[in-house]
Structure 1
Amino acid sequence: MSRPTYQRVADQLRRRIIAGEYTPGDKLPSRQDLAEEFGVGRRVAADAVQQLVGEGYVVSRSGSGSYVRPRPPVRRLTRSWYREDRGGSPFRADMAAQSVRGGWESASESAIAPDTVAHRLAIDPGDPVMRTKYTFTGDGEPVMLSTSWEPLEITRGTVVVLPEDGVHAGRGVVDRMRVIGHEIVQAGEIVTARPADAEEADLLRIARGSVVLVIQRTYYTEDRPVETADIVVPPDRYELAYMIPVGGK
């Protein structure tokens, strides 16, 4: 089955953007000019541009036209035990170090641990967990997503059961777990890459299907894992820097 005409036009425009024929900030040709160039109607041309808007390649400005979306500067996310253990939010510390106003939105709810999460937390599939979804922002723009799971057998009935509520809201996992007597001594991370799903692309305002980095992070005490998370990072905006301690303290 052939692709709809507007998608074929969008494909051509997307290639030009990726190749640099249209650079960030450039104004795209008008709908009328695109219709004439590709031999299509204005409606088809408009739908093609809207496709690129939805994918994050183009922004439309009312009364002005459509422009290639500027590329944000690449910033650094530091993966460091020192940052995790010194108190406060490591993400906010990273943003402050780069003169960026860091923040986040979150939503927590009790859930049932799926098999993969249960394995990472060393609990049984179906055990209750507190699941928290985060959208992290830098200067108001979405820059990173995270979904965190904590076993409710550890946190239920404590002051830190809701990661972003109460007197300890906004603290890192290390600080929160310490409050209830669980001293985190180690963190492990596995980094992979995959295409963003539709929800992730929409939240991050990137093109659907764009490749994202996924950091699978798990925190451990001496006895067990106490939190695990999937952190989703667009590599065109952020690079990961790992600071690894060598030798003793």
Structure 2
Amino acid sequence: MTGDETRRVADALRQAIETGEYSPGDKLPTGEKLAEKYGVHRGTAMKSVRALAAEGYVELVPRQAPRVRERPRSRLVVRDRTVYRDELGYFFDQNAKNWAAVEAPTRGIAVPPDHIADLLGVPRGQDVLVRERKMGPADTKQVLQLATSYLPMALVAELPALGAEKAGPGGIYDRLEEHFQAPLEWEETAWSRQPTEEEQAALKISKTIPVLVVTRVAQIMRDDALIGAEVNETRMSSERFALAYRVQRSDSAAWPRQA
């Protein structure tokens, strides 16, 4: 019965939030007042609040009243599968065309995750160059994406501009294409996972909100073979971002259909 009561109160509070009775930033009533309003024990009322926190409706802060979170599902920023270019260089997200680094970018040497090493084609456990940026709209200074680039140390030694604080006009991608006199090719994989503590703090999300991870591999032709030049991993709140792309027909699905 307690479980049924918890769900009943959670459903009622969820509806109150979605209909605007409680707006983003509003404090919820105390556990005692919720218990009195819905005719349940205080413990049951607080279980309902914690259930809503797990769904992303409510933010729990120690020694403070629960607050209603802003839920941006109605204003998702959509990423597509196209690379663009403007006077500054390549970019991969029309919505983020005019974004900037919210904090000064960093770079250093570190051992990458195993899946990154595999994509770069370097031995696991071997150091690579890591470049990190926190990106967001220039006018708000709000961090919406965390972007980390990984580059093989051998390639950085060959092309030092890749490790410079500023790689020059067009960034590392222009330097690579100039050096190899060939176009880059990219392949992306999108997946999700629970955020790290660092990602929670930077993106201002709770541990219950997954991050959307877009892993992009940049390859370029050398001696008639593609080599891994860079892996970029961008993380963003799954509440704010979605992927969108046109569905294309293969020859087997051509119209008009063949008899």
Q: Settle same-fold status: TM greater than 0.5.
A: yes
Q: Report the equivalent of 2:107.
A: 108
**Residue type at the aligned position of 1:166:** K
Q: CA RMSD of the aligned region, Å? A: 4.1
Structure 1 partner of 2:235: 232
Superposition map of 1:39-58 within 5 A: 40=42, 57-58=58-59
Give the C-alpha shift of residue 28 in structure 1: 3.2
SS in 2 for 1:125: coil
Structure 2 residue 197 is matched with structure 1 residue 198: yes
Is structure 2 residue 176 aligned with structure 1 residue 166? no
Aligned to 1:150: 151
Counterpart residue type for residue 116 of structure 2: V
Deviation at 1:160, TM superposition (A): 2.8
The 1:57–1:179 alpha-carbon spacing in structure 2 relative to 1, beyond 3 Å, is farther
What is the one-letter code of the residue matched to 2:27?
Answer: L
Superposition map of 1:75-94 within 5 A: 75-81=77-83, 83=84, 87-88=88-89, 90=91, 94=95
Matched to 1:135, the amino acid is K
| SS of equivalent to 1:218 | strand
| 1:36-82 residue CA offsets vs partner (Å, 9 max, x unmatched) | 666559xx97xx79x95xx783498xxxx86422233212223313x
CA apart distance, 1:113: 4.0
- Aligned pairs for 1:1-249 within 5 A: 19-23=14-18, 25=23, 27-31=26-30, 33-34=33-34, 40=42, 57-58=58-59, 67-72=67-72, 73-81=75-83, 83=84, 87-88=88-89, 90=91, 94-96=95-97, 101-105=99-103, 106-138=105-137, 139-156=140-157, 158-162=160-164, 165-166=165-166, 168=168, 171-181=170-180, 183-223=182-222, 224-242=227-245
Identical-pair percentage = 19
Whether contact under 8 Å (2:79, 2:94) holds in the other structure is no
1:57-110 Cα shifts (integer Å, max 9, x gaps): 3498xxxx86422233212223313x15875252685334xxx65444332111
Paired with 1:226 and 1:216, the residues of 2 have a C-alpha distance of: 14
Distance 2:33 2:153 in 1: 59
Larger RCO (alpha carbons 8 Å, 6+ apart): 1
Separation in 1 of the partners of 2:77 and 2:244?
Answer: 10
Gaps of 5+ in 2: 1-5, 250-259
Amino acid at match of 1:144: Q
Give 2:192's aligned amino acid: A
Q: Does the aligned pair in 1 maintain the 2:212–2:241 contact within 8 Å?
A: no
Say which one has the larger Rg: 2
TM-score, L = length of structure 2 = 0.65
Match for residue 5 of structure 1?
A: none
